[in-house]
Structure 1
């Protein structure tokens, strides 16, 4: 059993004793704490909280507990049921709500679920706000509503409104996509993408859709994180059909992986790069990704004479940096596209619509589009920690040792060499230091990462 409280929400496994996972008693406590926090910090005068969920097996149970708890705390609830994470984020603003809760453990395995907490803008709580929710939960500093002040419940479906919002974006060229007559394959890992992606594609004028794992029953047929090693079935489908492009999403549809017409992976780091290329072609402006994302976005941004900035890891950190720099596009290298013209949240529907518009305009195969971008490879390694290791001291020593290079320390330590980089940061969930490195070949990336790992181990002794 596991329970993890972090900037990205409260995640836990289902089952076991209270306090050992995200079980009914734990769920009531954290939801009550969130409701108490919202009550004290409501900024728009609303008394409504939106609830949406992915198709996890535990989702319906969690939904009933969360909705009942919010009503018990005196809030009116709009339950939008099966919905993507970005759909729920948008629903908060459409409803003029004071907050929202998304029930999803994103790419975690089927035994996990999570509470992702939103503010009145449909954006994730920041670190300080999240810490306050956890403080309230720990102290149980909340009280439930009296009988005359219980909340009400409405049930709505926001899928079509989300799709329409995507179609209404100025850079989504529906006519060009229709004219291109694409054939598209999709893998939705048996979650809410199976509801939303076919509807989106049909609304964009795509008539030839090959579906795999699109039954929203939460029975994930493969590891739900959309990485190359988990997407072999859709890769085979691409080779056995006439598909022009393939799309794979995670269970809550905020991460997008693209598959080339020949079955090769486009690369999760390059989802944002390609979408940014299309956006910058039509709207010059700044871009943002986190420190562990590919340098390719920086290169493409500079090609248009615009400025690239990096943020600390975490979606809320990316969106904060995007607002500070007036970025027109941003996101994370895990396939997360954040397009402010829509909203400040990772959104695979927006990513798909913009990428198909890009394809329709370029009139090139997906593999040809991919080949046009700077080629980088990222190696992901880690150093195991013991309780006696002073991580902060090690990071400080590494920073000093490589001070002749461009060093960033807003989130761990990132060393930018002229033709490569290494980013080391302590994991929030495991006793390890993550070591990400990028270079023009995988060999170079692994070598520079290995060099830094050797330095860390030497300093730890």
Structure 2
């Protein structure tokens, strides 16, 4: 039922009012007595929120509803209002036909595997603690979550030389970024600022291909930096002052290098580029790899020596601030970095990048193929990591074979410090899958 980023799928088929009701019942029955609930801008979110809160209240939980807000605003609100859990009705960067549900702890960390499985088991088994009429939970509006988030962002950065920033909200819930940057003295222009769950301005997921307008604005004006969010603003990506999209691995390297010092570690998934390893090595820090998914990065970021966590998807975590990927915080941190260190294009140029190749191979029996690949790789190679898929460190490069969590695909990734070696590793990895299939 849960993927690595919660429940997501098409409304009316996979994500229904019945499912939302069941999840609400399961959360309350699992002992979460006071629950914050918010949603993104999708119209289906209103219906799903009603069903979810009905399920929570049926099983005795009190609901604190904060309305349409960015996911990090909701996640931060759990601790702020002294709740036991938070729920966001969102499909994040998915298309408008989808919606979903994501659950949060007071620490700002998303529900982990054990918590998700406990909720899933209750839904599968219909194991709910339904309450009589005089023990139902309450439902009330709770204001102040956005104000709390805004204050935290202003305190997290110091921008002595305010910049000109363009914020592409993507018709989503991330307008908080523009407001806070304005409060910090920046000149702010917005794109796609009108909330609209159809995402008419551009697709919800911000990529080099979907941010053409933002890139054009940066190229044609004197703005210093452009930032963009997905539908619920847990992600943030950037465009430099020349209108060039900043590769996400490079952005991860910049954030990591700024956050870490000698002996520190940074958490990132197994598919993270060597560029991040090298950027950290230059400051005496190192990378600790996790499974793919922000919840796994957040879990590793709870360790004392981990000062930052990130995913090349655009999810960034500063554990001293929150364990939730916070797109508005990342935007403010990036503007602070550019204000302190100079043009973003110049910062990007300091990160050495390497050739990386990716493909997906369609396989009906992806689990069986991966089991056979795991055995085969274990016999052929010395440095093998099976934390998430199969990752082989070849010394001068690496490759990763990993089954998709949602599709009948095995994803193949290979990287090396020169083109010929990257191509060779890629072919080697691809043949491991095709020969085993």
CA RMSD across the alignment = 2.0
Correspondence 1:413-424 to 2 at 5 A: 413-424=390-401
Distance, in Å, in 1 between the alignment partners of 2:331 and 2:112 is 27
Distance, in Å, in 2 between the alignment partners of 1:377 and 1:64 is 48
Residue 155 of structure 2 corresponds to residue 168 of structure 1? yes
Distance, in Å, in 1 between the alignment partners of 2:319 and 2:69 is 20
Secondary structure of 1:246's aligned partner: strand
2:59 corresponds to which residue?
A: 73
The answer (yes or no) to whether the contact 1:256–1:268 under 8 Å persists in 2 is no
Distance, in Å, in 1 between the alignment partners of 2:155 and 2:416 is 39
Of 351, 357, 374, the residue aligned with 1:379 is: 357
- Residues 395-432 of structure 1, C-alpha deviation per residue, up to 9 Å, x if partnerless? 2244225413x321111111122332211111111111
The answer (yes or no) to whether the contact 1:271–1:337 under 8 Å persists in 2 is no
- Residues 78-114 of structure 1, C-alpha deviation per residue, up to 9 Å, x if partnerless? 1111111111111001111111101111111001111
The answer (yes or no) to whether the contact 1:288–1:308 under 8 Å persists in 2 is yes
- Residues 182-225 of structure 1, C-alpha deviation per residue, up to 9 Å, x if partnerless? 111121110101x212112112211x222111111212132221
Aligned residues: 435
The answer (yes or no) to whether the contact 2:235–2:313 under 8 Å persists in 1 is yes
The alpha-carbon distance between structure 1 residues 398 and 98, as it changes in their structure 2 partners (threshold 3 A), is same
Q: Which moved more, 1:231-240 or 1:121-130?
A: 121-130
The answer (yes or no) to whether the contact 1:337–1:351 under 8 Å persists in 2 is yes
Distance, in Å, in 2 between the alignment partners of 1:316 and 1:257 is 19
2:314 corresponds to which residue?
A: 335
Residue 108 of structure 2 corresponds to residue 108 of structure 1? no
Of 267, 270, 289, the residue aligned with 1:291 is: 270
Q: Which moved more, 1:414-423 or 1:82-91?
A: 414-423
Gaps of 5+ in 2: none
Residue 263 of structure 2 corresponds to residue 266 of structure 1? no
Report the Cα offset of residue 457 of structure 1: 0.6
The answer (yes or no) to whether the contact 1:99–1:121 under 8 Å persists in 2 is no
Normalising by structure 2, we get a TM-score of 0.94
1:151 corresponds to which residue?
A: 137
Distance, in Å, in 2 between the alignment partners of 1:166 and 1:347 is 10
Correspondence 1:21-32 to 2 at 5 A: 21-32=14-25
2:212 corresponds to which residue?
A: 232
Distance, in Å, in 2 between the alignment partners of 1:63 and 1:377 is 44
The answer (yes or no) to whether the contact 2:400–2:429 under 8 Å persists in 1 is no
The answer (yes or no) to whether the contact 1:14–1:113 under 8 Å persists in 2 is yes
The answer (yes or no) to whether the contact 1:81–1:157 under 8 Å persists in 2 is no
Report the Cα offset of residue 376 of structure 1: 2.8
1:356 corresponds to which residue?
A: 335
1:437 corresponds to which residue?
A: 414
The answer (yes or no) to whether the contact 2:169–2:193 under 8 Å persists in 1 is yes
The alpha-carbon distance between structure 1 residues 387 and 284, as it changes in their structure 2 partners (threshold 3 A), is closer
The answer (yes or no) to whether the contact 1:398–1:456 under 8 Å persists in 2 is no
2:202 corresponds to which residue?
A: 222
Secondary structure of 2:405's aligned partner: coil
Secondary structure of 1:425's aligned partner: strand
Secondary structure of 1:369's aligned partner: helix
The answer (yes or no) to whether the contact 1:88–1:122 under 8 Å persists in 2 is no
Distance, in Å, in 1 between the alignment partners of 2:35 and 2:277 is 38
The answer (yes or no) to whether the contact 1:270–1:335 under 8 Å persists in 2 is no
The alpha-carbon distance between structure 1 residues 396 and 274, as it changes in their structure 2 partners (threshold 3 A), is same
The alpha-carbon distance between structure 1 residues 401 and 204, as it changes in their structure 2 partners (threshold 3 A), is farther
